[in-house]
């Protein structure tokens, strides 16, 4: 992988932090030096941002790698840290959640309200026989009760496992089995694309299939007709009638907090286990540092679903531990129209927005005039997560959403890392479009070659984490061997993230996508991200996915699936011409070696439910194979469309 293309390091655009933000930033440049001097002392200081019932004896126990223990001997309650302590500090009337339902109904949940709800839900779970260490599945729409359910579990020491509310019976049942859960918390349904979408029937079937679940707690959200079994209890008849008094008990720093299954972009999802003290230390600190949250004045909005790690760390635990006021939105970005996100930003005066490249590229496809129609002047920090952000998508985000003012923090991390690991700091870093820049203070990351040697600036290779970090996964649920094999076996002493990366001439990091996706064309390693970014830099392109397909002459050949921008004519001859222009454009930008053998114009790409492009399915198509595991695919009809397009496009 060391022999990558030169293109990304030639990016010359630079964006220094706005002066006022830099002057008042929560975290300044000295944090890097402080953490470098004594990394463990630095993390201990961040842990002190939390309230501990019992102090720790040891910051890190790394005597049995890769099994880490952080803040050994310490005890704390996470729900207390996210809710009660703010109320005790006199902030009970502060809004925790401005909730916006898809149909336009709203709720305002203060920290006092949250304390009451979480205590009631905790009491109800206890009455249902849930005790510390039991597993509880959460299968919910984006409503405040989803966060309440998670916090109630944390409060009583039950381990939650949230399953995205769009997953099938199969996906839910296998996760219930894998986690051997005892209770499911769900809702009748939620609103998606303008209509109620049922959740309860999926739960009913999954529960019937596994035979493990003792109770199902059901929130009434849509009011749709539901089947009822003797395991079911309504939330409003139990939780909302329960005592609002609950004394939180402290749990060990290493008590299991949650199991979350990865997105399944590359294969079968893994049940990632996170624990308590280290996880909250790092989610809380990174949320404070990377978003520069000022809890008294900011309105924060993370558009992720609670079913993904981003929802866990940056809707629930990070922001609430910091006493943030945040927006939570139930529905889709195009209901009732394509301006919905910007209307929400405008309405609540959102000042910090955290979203994903897939959404930014979708907005690019829909057209610049849509965000232009709203007042977005409240925005002061913009975040991105989930995939590499193409430089032109980054520029679009900056221009059309940030209005050339708000800094962008491109945050690299994974379900496994629990928190943001590589990112600019908005008051410190001079950013480059498309680069996640440098590891955060206290984080060790590097790019190494296949001999595990650090590559020099200008080189590319495998992204690894070189030091244990507080919110690191503690394992794969029930499968220590898979944990060791997947992350710790390829390179001795390093955590192998599975992503490729490059260091530019200044040492800034550029994420290049999954190492499994790297293409080998006539002996050259070419990353999918670089070719995709070259395609997206053409003014007619909104989004692109590139794969390497077996080719008799070049070993692998580049096949690109490309979505034109909304205003572009891509029919008939105009389409043929565009394809030709795009092939030439890539050859010109990256060199003739990167010229795609084939470009297909498509209207959609296969994505996981979390919005990530699933290249392995496109590779199956490009190589005429039957499709691999499609259970985490967002829309299964997309693949039929693409396959039939491919057959006619020779």
Residues 75-134 binding ligand ATP (CB under 6 A) are: none
Residue 416: CB atoms within 10 A of its CB come to 24
Give the largest CA-CA distance in the chain: 72
411 is in an annotated binding site: yes
Region of 261-269, 336-344, 373-381, 640-648 interacting with ligand ATP (CB under 6 A): 261-269
| Eight-state DSSP code of residue 9 | G
Binding residue for ligand ATP, selected from 190, 388, 468, 611, defined by CB under 6 A: 388
Q: How far is the CB of 135 from Mg ion (least distance, A)?
A: 22
- Which among ligand ATP, Mg ion, none contacts residue 254 (Cβ within 5 to 8 A by kind)? none
Residue 104 C-beta-side C-alpha neighbours within 13 Å: 6
Residue 273 DSSP SS3: strand
Annotate 105-174 with three-state secondary structure: CEEEEEHHHHHHHHHHHHHHHHHCCCCCCCEEEEECCCCHHHHHHHHHHHHHCCEEEECCCCCCHHHHHH
Binding residue for ligand ATP, selected from 101, 144, 383, 386, defined by CB under 6 A: 386
Q: Does 273 bind ligand ATP (CB under 6 A)?
A: no
Residues 436-455 binding ligand ATP (CB under 6 A) are: 436
Cα 123 to Cα 81, 84, 129, 311, 426: the distances in Å are 18, 15, 10, 24, 41
- Which among Mg ion, ligand ATP, none contacts residue 410 (Cβ within 5 to 8 A by kind)? ligand ATP
Binding residue for ligand ATP, selected from 222, 266, 284, 525, defined by CB under 6 A: 266
Q: Does 497 bind ligand ATP (CB under 6 A)?
A: yes
- Which among Mg ion, ligand ATP, none contacts residue 431 (Cβ within 5 to 8 A by kind)? none
Q: How far is the CB of 386 from Mg ion (least distance, A)?
A: 11
Q: How far is the CB of 632 from ligand ATP (least distance, A)?
A: 8
Size of the chain, expressed as the number of residues it contains: 650
Residue 554 DSSP SS3: coil
Residues 593-612 binding ligand ATP (CB under 6 A) are: 610, 612
Structure tokens at 264: 């399944």
- Region for residue 8 given its phi and psi (left: phi exceeds 0; alpha: psi -120 to 50; beta: otherwise): alpha
Phi, psi of 23 (to 5 degrees): -65, -35
- Which among ligand ATP, Mg ion, none contacts residue 340 (Cβ within 5 to 8 A by kind)? none
Residues 392-431 binding ligand ATP (CB under 6 A) are: 410-412, 414-415
195 is in an annotated binding site: yes
Helices 39-47, 277-290: inter-axial angle, 10-degree rounding: 90
CA–chain centroid gap for 106, Å, is 25
- Which among ligand ATP, Mg ion, none contacts residue 527 (Cβ within 5 to 8 A by kind)? none
CA–chain centroid gap for 321, Å, is 18
Q: Does 483 bind ligand ATP (CB under 6 A)?
A: no
Q: Does 286 bind ligand ATP (CB under 6 A)?
A: no
Taking Cα atoms as reference points, which of 79, 610, 96 lies closest to residue 305? 610
Secondary structure element (H or E) that encloses residue 194, with its range: none
Binding residue for ligand ATP, selected from 151, 511, 586, 617, defined by CB under 6 A: 511
Region of 11-19, 36-44, 87-95, 257-265 interacting with ligand ATP (CB under 6 A): 257-265
Of the pair 269, 564, the CB lying nearest ligand ATP is at 269
Tell me the binding residues for Mg(2+).
Answer: 536, 538, 541
Residue ranges in contact with ligand ATP by CB under 6 A: 262-267, 269, 308-309, 385-388, 410-412, 414-415, 436, 497-499, 511, 514, 610, 612
Tell me the binding residues for ATP.
Answer: 386-388, 410-415, 499, 514
Tell me the binding residues for CoA.
Answer: 192-195, 310, 522
């Amino acid at each position: 992988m060391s022999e990558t293309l030169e293109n990304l390091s030639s990016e010359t655009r630079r964006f220094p932090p706005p002066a006022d933000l830099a002057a008042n930033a929560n975290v300044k440049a000295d944090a890097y030096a402080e953490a470098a001097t004594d990394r463990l002392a630095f993390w201990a200081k961040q842990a002190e941002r939390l309230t501990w019932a019992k102090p720790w004896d040891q910051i890190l126990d790394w005597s049995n790698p890769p099994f880490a223990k952080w803040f050994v001997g310490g005890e704390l309650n996470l729900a207390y840290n996210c809710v009660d302590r703010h109320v005790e500090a006199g902030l009970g009337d502060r809004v925790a959640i401005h909730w916006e339902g898809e149909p336009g109904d709203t709720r305002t949940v203060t920290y006092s309200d949250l304390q009451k709800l979480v205590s009631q839900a905790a009491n109800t779970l206890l009455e249902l026989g849930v005790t510390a260490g039991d597993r509880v599945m959460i299968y919910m729409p984006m409503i405040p009760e989803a966060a309440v359910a998670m916090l109630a579990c944390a409060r009583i020491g039950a381990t939650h496992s949230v399953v995205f509310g769009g997953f099938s019976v199969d996906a839910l049942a296998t996760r219930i089995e894998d986690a051997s859960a005892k209770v499911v918390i769900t809702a009748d349904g939620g609103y998606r694309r303008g209509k109620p979408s049922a959740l309860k029937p999926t739960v009913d079937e999954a529960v019937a299939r596994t035979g493990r679940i003792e109770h199902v707690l059901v929130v009434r959200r849509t009011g749709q007709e539901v089947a009822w079994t003797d395991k079911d209890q309504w939330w409003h008849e139990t939780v909302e009638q329960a005592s609002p008094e609950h004394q939180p008990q402290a749990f060990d720093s290493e008590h299991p907090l949650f199991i979350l299954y990865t997105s399944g972009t590359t294969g079968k999802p893994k049940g990632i286990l996170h624990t308590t003290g280290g996880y909250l230390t790092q989610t809380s600190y990174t949320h404070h540092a990377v978003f520069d949250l000022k809890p008294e004045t900011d309105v924060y909005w993370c558009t992720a679903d609670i079913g993904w790690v981003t929802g866990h760390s940056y809707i629930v635990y990070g922001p609430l531990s910091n006493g943030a006021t945040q927006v939570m939105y139930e529905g889709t970005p195009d209901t009732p129209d394509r301006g919905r996100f910007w209307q929400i930003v405008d309405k609540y005066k959102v000042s910090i927005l955290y979203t994903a490249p897939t959404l930014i590229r979708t907005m690019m496809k829909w057209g610049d005039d849509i965000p232009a129609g709203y007042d977005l002047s409240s925005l002061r920090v913009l975040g991105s997560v989930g995939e590499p952000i193409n430089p032109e998508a980054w520029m679009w985000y900056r221009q059309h959403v940030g209005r050339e003012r708000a800094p962008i923090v491109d945050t690299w991390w994974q379900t496994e890392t629990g928190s943001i690991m590589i990112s600019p700091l908005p008051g410190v870093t001079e950013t480059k479009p498309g680069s996640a820049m440098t590891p955060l203070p206290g984080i060790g990351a590097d790019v190494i070659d296949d001999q595990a040697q650090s590559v020099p600036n200008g080189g590319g290779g495998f992204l690894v984490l070189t030091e244990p970090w507080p919110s690191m996964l503690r394992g794969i649920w029930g499968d220590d061997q898979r944990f060791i094999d997947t992350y710790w076996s390829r390179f001795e002493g390093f955590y192998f993230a599975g992503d490729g990366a490059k260091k530019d001439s200044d040492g800034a990091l550029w994420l290049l996508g999954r190492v499994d996706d790297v293409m080998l064309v006539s002996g050259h390693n070419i990353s999918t991200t670089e070719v995709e970014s070259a395609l997206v830099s053409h003014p007619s392109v909104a989004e692109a996915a590139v794969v390497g397909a077996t080719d008799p002459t070049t070993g692998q050949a580049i096949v690109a699936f490309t979505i034109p921008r909304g205003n572009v004519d891509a029919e008939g001859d105009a389409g043929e011409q565009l394809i030709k222009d795009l092939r030439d454009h890539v050859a010109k930008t990256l060199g003739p070696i990167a010229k795609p053998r084939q470009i297909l114009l498509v209207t959609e790409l296969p994505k996981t439910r979390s919005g990530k492009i699933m290249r392995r399915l496109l590779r199956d198509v490009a190589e005429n194979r039957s499709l691999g595991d499609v259970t985490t695919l967002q829309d299964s009809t997309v693949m039929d469309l693409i396959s039939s397009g491919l057959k006619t496009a020779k």
